[in-house]
Homo-oligomer: A and B are copies of this chain.
Amino acid sequence: MATSGRPGAAHCGIDAAMEVVGGKWKVLILWVLEQGPHRFGELRRLIPGVTEKVLAAQLRELEADGIVHREVYDEVPPRVEYSLTPIGCELGEALAPLGAWGAKHLVPGGA
């Protein structure tokens, strides 16, 4: 670490971050939510393959980790909007380089 000059990174916050972001659909949710608040049903439709149960679970975990904000509108029909908290926004930005790396090296026409 003297070489990298990374003070607080003791055994790196990466693994800590990985636990937050480690769910199968979390990064997709983050990705979608980065483009603005979305409702539950929208997320479900925007993320093909995810089921309601799992989507709800991942959302709750992200909420518990302070990444997303859950806004319930007491209307009828019921409406719930999910948005990123400031911390969530920062997380999204921190994920950007990783996404760029993936696009560059993993996705066929990424470069």
Q: Is the CB of A14 within 8 A of B27?
A: yes
Q: Which of B36, B66, B98 contacts A14 (CB 8 A)?
A: B98
B-chain residues with CB within 8 Å of residue A103 when the two chains form the complex: 8-9, 12-13, 16
Chain A contributes a number of interface residues (CB within 8 A of B) equal to 46
A109 contact from B8, B20, B110, Cβ within 8 A = B8
| Binary per-residue interface labels of chain A (17-59) against chain B in the complex, 1 for a CB within 8 Å, 0 otherwise | 1101110000110110011100000000010000000000000
**Contact between A9 and B101 (Cβ–Cβ < 8 Å)?**
no
A positions within 8 Å CB-CB of B: 1, 3-4, 8-18, 20-22, 27-28, 30-31, 34-36, 46, 66, 87, 90-91, 93-107, 109-110
